[in-house]
């Protein structure tokens, strides 16, 4: 199985000036979701005897993440020379990253793994756009991967505690959530990765069909509420704050043993719809 892992070079901390709205970035690097994707790729490669190709689109410093991937077991690494500015328009409407990552894999691999979202823009659109560029099937937000013969089973987390299991054909693009810890590299592998060759590809973005003039956050419309009808100022304040609305009082249960407390917690979750299973 040929597996590619897309590693991002996103800003780990973004600060917004409260007066001007200007963005300031701190450290850039890979997120926990990208590390989880890399670990999933290494485990699948071990099961199938496949190869792992680590790819990224970013500046020269992005090679740090690629060398880490080589140290833990990736077979090759490729960087596309692309530096996305820290700008709201670029973060919200950056489709060039997916196109650059697609250019890093001249032959479509059997599986491409990505993190579910970056730490700066957080739109989660890059895996879907990458699947469109490669003409591959996609599954977003996976929490567990396993093999079913020559097919890949992807477990996704749904609302209310449910799970969805997808059987994907090849090629496929899968984004995974964080949670799976990346293995630690041995010191000889770390030293060898410092001198390993990383393929560098230039990138010239294609002219876009439309230019983004501005990008603004969504501002919900104001809703008109009826004036309070209380006879006194005290009752009007209570009505405005919702203090007069009837609510279910909290239930105090206990002291209980650990087993009884667990049963009480499970019963509460079932009453609120979290006990259903697919």
The predicted model scores a pTM of 0.67
pLDDT at 39: 92
Tell me the pLDDT band of 205, cut-offs 50, 70 and 90: low
pLDDT digits (tens, 9 = 90+) for 42-100: 999 999 989 999 998 888 888 888 999 999 999 999 988 877 666 655 555 556 778 88
CA 67 to chain centre: 21
DSSP conformational letter for 208: P
Reduced 3-state DSSP string for 189-250: HHHHHHCCCCEEECCCCCCCCCCCCCCCCCCCCCCCCCCCCCCCHHHHHHHHHCCCCCCCCC
Rg of the chain, C-alpha, whole Å: 24
Q: Report pLDDT digits (tens) over 106-132.
A: 788 889 999 887 766 667 788 888 888
Separation between Cα atoms, residue 125 and residue 118, nearest integer Å:
9
């Amino acid at each position: 199985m040929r597996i590619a892992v897309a590693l991002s070079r996103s800003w780990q901390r973004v600060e917004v000036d409260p007066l001007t709205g200007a963005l300031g970035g701190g450290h850039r690097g890979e997120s926990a979701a990208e590390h989880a994707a890399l670990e999933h790729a290494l485990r699948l490669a071990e099961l199938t005897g496949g190869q792992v190709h680590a790819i990224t689109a970013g500046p020269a410093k992005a090679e740090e993440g690629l060398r880490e991937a080589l140290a833990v077991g990736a077979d090759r690494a490729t960087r596309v020379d692309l530096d996305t500015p820290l700008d709201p328009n670029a973060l919200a409407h950056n489709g060039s990253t997916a196109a650059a990552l697609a250019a890093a894999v001249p032959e479509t691999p059997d599986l491409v793994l990505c993190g579910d979202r970056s730490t700066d823009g957080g739109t989660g659109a890059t895996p879907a756009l990458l699947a469109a560029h490669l003409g591959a099937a996609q599954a977003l937000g996976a929490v567990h991967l396993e093999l079913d013969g020559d097919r890949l089973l992807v477990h996704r987390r749904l609302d209310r505690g449910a799970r969805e299991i997808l059987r994907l054909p090849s090629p496929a693009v899968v984004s995974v959530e964080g949670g799976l810890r990346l293995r630690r590299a041995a010191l000889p592998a770390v030293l060898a990765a410092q001198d390993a060759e990383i393929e560098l590809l230039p990138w010239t973005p294609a002219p876009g069909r439309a230019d983004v003039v501005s990008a603004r956050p969504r501002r919900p419309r104001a809703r008109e509420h009826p004036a309070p009808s209380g006879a006194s100022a005290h009752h009007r304040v209570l009505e405005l704050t919702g203090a007069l609305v009837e609510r279910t009082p909290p239930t105090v249960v206990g002291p209980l043993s650990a087993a009884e407390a667990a049963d009480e917690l499970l019963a509460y979750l079932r009453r609120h719809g979290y006990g259903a299973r697919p």
